[in-house]
Amino acid sequence: MDKDRIEGAVRQVKGSVKEAVGKVTGDAKTQAQGAAEKATGRAQNAIGGAKDALKK
């Protein structure tokens, strides 16, 4: 498994938590940052998946 997949998954989780905290506290900035981090994590995870596919 490529390190990008692991890091991407971690970013997705962190982004989800941050987004949820933003929703609960009513902080739109934190919520937006969480959504952006989650999207970045998804992209990084996809890149790692592509690297894994190329290795095989």
The predicted-structure confidence for 5-54, as pLDDT tens digits, reads as follows 999 999 999 999 999 999 999 999 999 999 999 999 999 999 999 998 89
Q: What confidence score (pLDDT) does residue 55 get?
A: 86
Q: What confidence score (pLDDT) does residue 15 get?
A: 97
Give Rg (Cα) of the chain. Answer: 13
Q: What confidence score (pLDDT) does residue 1 get?
A: 75
Helices 3-25 + 28-55 axis angle, to 10: 160
Confidence label for 56 from pLDDT (cuts 50, 70 and 90): confident
pTM, two decimals, is 0.84
